[in-house]
Structure 1
Amino acid sequence: MKPYRVLLYYIYTPIDNPEQYRDEHHRLCLDLNLLGRVIVAPEGLNGTVSGLTDDCQCYMDTLKTDARFAGIDFKVEEHDTHAFKKLHVRLKEEIVNSDLPVDPLKRTGIHLEPEEFKKLKDQDDVVLIDMRSNYEHTVGKFKGAITFDMENLRELPEHMPEIAHLKDKKIITYCTGGIKCEKASAYLLEQGFENVYQLHGGIIKYGLEAGGEDFDGKCYVFDNRLTVDINKVNPKVISTCYRCGTPSDRMVNCASAGCNNHIPLCEACGWQYEGTCTDECLHAADKRVYDGTGYYQKPTSHYTPFLGYVSRKRSEAAEVSR
């Protein structure tokens, strides 16, 4: 058993004072030595964090004792080390950027557990639709799934004409951990699709609980692993090296900071071209040092992981002055 855990989760639930809770949640993560990314919004909580097994268990137990978060479904993976280098707990308007005029707490697609999805996905009247970004499904997707050439979920309305002829089908949406599908499936219902389902817990949960059968390639993740294996039954590489065209499911971010393209790049080309996707990027002035991983931590000059403690000290000082 590996010593660390990676937790992926989300929950749509009203948070009345999200700024205050952001600080509280940040202190919790600091106290438990967790690293990762957490988004707090009026509509809920979304996060991916890593830490030692006991610390992660305490984190999950603490959240579930809060009535607002009792229904969180954690996807738990083993890992050798931290999957992140820093901690970010951010306040945003949405827990996943979409701008879609829907409320998943009022209406969304029917949730399918992994085994239910596995039984239903190959039926003749079923269509699988990938709700992730183009670079994500380039490296991995379900066999036969429809994909969109979109950068993010905000572009979903532009792709509706591509599936308008499928309104008489059973539609199953899927994404990495399930969060995008809550809004995407709700939007499909608003657009007149009647039989809409979603893979509960996403690709990650399907791999953990149902073996990942028929998921080709690897699943892109937003930590320093970049991709993870899903399919333990009939795995297949579907992506090719951006530079040489050989089969490769090894994803990197282009070393040119101005480009930062998400691409498959074989190990040989990675070293030969210093982690870049083009010769222009290879000679770019903003090229970052390639260390073989192709993962680069975003600058955090506008944010400090000690903000929570600063806020707590201010609060304590205010109490003393009263």
Structure 2
Amino acid sequence: MNTTPNLSPSLESEPLPYRVLLYYCFTPIEDPTALRNEQHALCIELNLRGRIIVASEGLNGTVSGTIADCEAYMERVSQDPRFKGIDFKIEGAQGHTFRKINVRVKEEIVHAGLPHLKPYQKTGKHLTPAEFKSLMQNDPNVVVVDMRSNYEHNLGKFKNALTFDMENFRELPEHLAEIEHLKDKKILTYCTGGIKCEKATALLLEAGFQDVYQLHGGIIKYGAEAGGEDFEGKCYVFDGRVAVDVNQVNPTILTECYVCGTKSDNMVNCANPTCNRHTVICQTCLENLDGGCSIECKTHPEKRPYDGSGKYERVSNGYNPEIGFRQQARELRKSKEETH
């Protein structure tokens, strides 16, 4: 059984040794803890790294690994009847884009603060990248709405898209009044990989919007299948790459260097951990300031060594991948004791 999705032309013509998988599936999960343990063991077995969230409403993950390991993972997950038809967005990479595997059980697979909404019951109409592009470019009754946070859409967004001034997705309900007057329009929503739009369009339908659509597979799939046309800037991603190119047709740069104001899309963190400003700084300024965002940060006694990238690993939150196996072992022993 071959469940590997078609790779984009860029992956076929310039093969890279690793893959980054972005995926989700809204489906009822009776025992999230059991699924969490299954996913954890599978990723350890296949040497995958990344972040996976399991909840009673489904599965959401971003992982990296070798081509063979990622193909094995996709096949194993797709064989689970609960995830039949799951859509994997695939990108090439030079190596792992995460340090370790982190699998957690949470109330929602996307932190929206809307656990009552079940996208597998009701959500906006899915559009392929080609359908989204056609409506966006040719239908005058269409309004394109970005469902991402400020730091994401400030780096890149679709041309003429409406954005919300929000720090995180949980704030979305507070901003619906801003588009209340557009209820007679076709609302085209989009996000990075599609998952936020599942909840966002369900919320719009609940609020009385009638003609609601979502870009299936999000910006990542649009870039791979539609060339990224009319997406301005770069797409923010939640792994070690921070930002990726999307538009192969008419690319532009939206952002400016925080230090000098020149056009740049080099998203970094300040090397001073007490500042840790997450912003755009051009390579020249970054080198002049030795990874800092100011003279003060350059000379700060706690400044991290600048390695040329401007990207620093997050401080560990104490998650230990082996804890999952110890938990599984205890549960298996307990189960055996109860049956004997």
TM-score (norm. length: structure 1): 0.94
Seen in structure 2, the aligned counterparts of structure 1 residues 32 and 169 have a Cα distance that, compared at 3 Å, is: same
**Deviations, residues 254-287 of structure 1 (Å, cap 9, x unaligned):** 3344444331111112222343445555455654
Separation in 1, partners of 2:59, 2:316: 21
Name 1:81's counterpart in structure 2: 95
Name 2:63's counterpart in structure 1: 49
Match of residue 164, structure 1, among 180, 201, 221 = 180
Seen in structure 2, the aligned counterparts of structure 1 residues 193 and 271 have a Cα distance that, compared at 3 Å, is: same
User: How far is 1:14 from its partner?
Assistant: 1.3
Name 1:245's counterpart in structure 2: 261
1:96 aligns with 2:110: yes
Separation in 1, partners of 2:106, 2:335: 28
Q: Map 1:68-147 onto structure 2 (within 5 A).
A: 68-100=82-114, 101-122=116-137, 123-147=139-163
Gaps of 5+ in 1: none
**Counterpart of 2:154 in 1: which secondary structure?**
helix
Name 1:293's counterpart in structure 2: 309
Separation in 1, partners of 2:208, 2:275: 38
Q: Which residue type is aligned with residue 84 of structure 1?
A: F
Q: Map 1:1-322 onto structure 2 (within 5 A).
A: 1-100=15-114, 101-122=116-137, 123-279=139-295, 281-282=297-298, 287-318=303-334, 322=340
Separation in 2, partners of 1:276, 1:109: 43
Further displaced range: 103-112 or 215-224: 103-112
Separation in 1, partners of 2:304, 2:93: 26
Q: Which residue type is aligned with residue 103 of structure 1?
A: K
Further displaced range: 283-292 or 50-59: 283-292
Q: Which residue type is aligned with residue 25 of structure 1?
A: Q
Seen in structure 2, the aligned counterparts of structure 1 residues 150 and 275 have a Cα distance that, compared at 3 Å, is: farther
Seen in structure 2, the aligned counterparts of structure 1 residues 136 and 192 have a Cα distance that, compared at 3 Å, is: same
Separation in 1, partners of 2:147, 2:101: 27
Seen in structure 2, the aligned counterparts of structure 1 residues 281 and 192 have a Cα distance that, compared at 3 Å, is: farther
Separation in 2, partners of 1:233, 1:26: 39
User: How far is 1:91 from its partner?
Assistant: 1.4
Q: Percent identity?
A: 58
Separation in 1, partners of 2:243, 2:305: 20
User: How far is 1:293 from its partner?
Assistant: 2.3
Separation in 2, partners of 1:156, 1:316: 42
> Contact 1:11–1:44 (CA<8 Å) still a contact in 2?
yes
Q: Which residue type is aligned with residue 41 of structure 2?
A: R
> Contact 1:24–1:308 (CA<8 Å) still a contact in 2?
no
Seen in structure 2, the aligned counterparts of structure 1 residues 233 and 59 have a Cα distance that, compared at 3 Å, is: same
Q: Which residue type is aligned with residue 288 of structure 1?
A: R
Gaps of 5+ in 2: 1-14
Q: Which residue type is aligned with residue 119 of structure 1?
A: S
> Contact 1:36–1:84 (CA<8 Å) still a contact in 2?
yes
RMSD: 1.8
**Deviations, residues 131-176 of structure 1 (Å, cap 9, x unaligned):** 1110111111000000111111111122122212111110000000
Instruction: Tell me how many residue pairs correspond in the alignment.
Output: 322
Seen in structure 2, the aligned counterparts of structure 1 residues 263 and 313 have a Cα distance that, compared at 3 Å, is: same
Separation in 2, partners of 1:258, 1:150: 24
Separation in 1, partners of 2:307, 2:203: 41
